[in-house]
């Protein structure tokens, strides 16, 4: 419990986008701009119902620069009748840059690489896939979304540790100050950028990072106390039984 002299508690709603076309096809999405599938659109509407039912009305919305993140947030705020809520979009919340593995089948990668190497690439802190071919970073730099970024900010590939380093300044400079003022924030982003935020919130070690999976369109709520520490470590899913089953499905991706 916080005392009368403690700062107000903020609330952070983490929401992975609804099922994307990449999720539906069983391929790695990365920075490729896949859209939501019809099922993903319905999932986002379901997430909005859960958020409304919990009485959580966001004061701010934060998304990546990728369509599946932006569209998920739009559906949620429309369903909450909060389409006027201030929105910030940032490349720092983009999905992990999977390099040459972008668009590759998870199942085929596991067959080719073997189970151990596949899981290490997918979930360890420091494993790095092969980078994008030489022309692909130039295409990203030409994209108007990224035109203002220094060239070195557009990674040809990322480990999870590199993604964590990318997300950390957005947490410390943007999200944490708003939460410290007691705001309720909705972050609609991606499996790995949300894993990075949970890693920061809960100060996870590498084994815990490897075990962490975030399912699509299942709102994960962190009520924060003094020092912006979660009152419940790991946060709470608004539909815990469904989220538990969906998390197990994420962990099994590529195995079937």
DSSP code per residue over 174-215: IIHHHHHTT-EEEEEE-HHHHHHHHHHHHT--HHHHHH----
Give per-residue pLDDT as tens, 119-133: 888 888 999 988 988
Q: Taking 70 as the threshold, does the pLDDT of residue 6 lie above it?
A: no
Q: Pick the catalytic residue from 17, 62, 190, 222.
A: 17
- Pairing assessment for the beta strands 184-189 and 87-89 based on DSSP bridges: unpaired
Q: Pick the catalytic residue from 21, 95, 158, 218.
A: 95
> pTM for the whole thing?
0.94
Q: Is 255 a catalytic residue?
A: no
Q: Is 152 a catalytic residue?
A: no
Give per-residue pLDDT as tens, 165-194: 999 999 999 999 999 999 999 999 999 999
Q: Taking 60 as the threshold, does the pLDDT of residue 5 lie above it?
A: no
CA distance 24 to 106: 11
Evaluate whether 159 touches 127 at the Cβ level (below 8 Å).
yes
Give per-residue pLDDT as tens, 207-253: 999 999 999 999 999 999 999 999 999 999 999 999 999 999 998 88
Going along the chain from its start, the domains and CATH numbers come out as 11-245 (3.40.50.1240)
CA distance 241 to 223: 20
pLDDT of residue 137: 82
């Amino acid at each position: 419990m916080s005392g009368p002299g403690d700062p107000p508690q903020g609330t952070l709603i983490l929401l992975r986008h609804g099922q994307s076309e990449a999720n539906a096809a069983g391929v790695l999405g990365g920075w490729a701009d896949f859209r939501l599938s019809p099922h993903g659109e319905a999932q986002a509407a379901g997430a909005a119902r859960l958020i409304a039912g919990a009485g959580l009305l966001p004061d701010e919305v934060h998304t990546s620069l990728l369509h599946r993140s932006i569209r998920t947030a739009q559906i949620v705020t429309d369903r909450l009748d909060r389409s006027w809520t201030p929105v910030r979009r940032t490349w720092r919340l983009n999905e992990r840059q999977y390099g040459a593995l972008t668009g590759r089948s998870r199942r085929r990668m596991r067959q080719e690489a073997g189970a151990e190497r596949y899981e290490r690439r997918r979930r360890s802190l420091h494993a790095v896939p092969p980078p994008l071919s030489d022309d692909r970073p130039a295409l990203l730099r030409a994209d108007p979304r990224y035109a203002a970024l220094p060239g070195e900010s557009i990674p040809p590939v990322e480990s999870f540790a590199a993604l964590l380093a990318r997300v950390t300044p957005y947490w410390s400079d943007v999200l944490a100050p708003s939460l410290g003022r007691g705001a309720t924030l909705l972050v609609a982003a991606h499996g790995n950028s949300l894993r990075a935020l949970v890693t920061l919130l809960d100060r996870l070690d590498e084994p815990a990072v490897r075990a962490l999976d975030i399912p699509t369109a299942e709102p994960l709520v962190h009520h924060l106390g003094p020092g912006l520490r979660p009152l419940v470590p790991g946060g709470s899913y608004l539909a815990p039984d469904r989220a538990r089953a969906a998390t197990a499905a994420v962990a099994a991706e590529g195995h079937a």
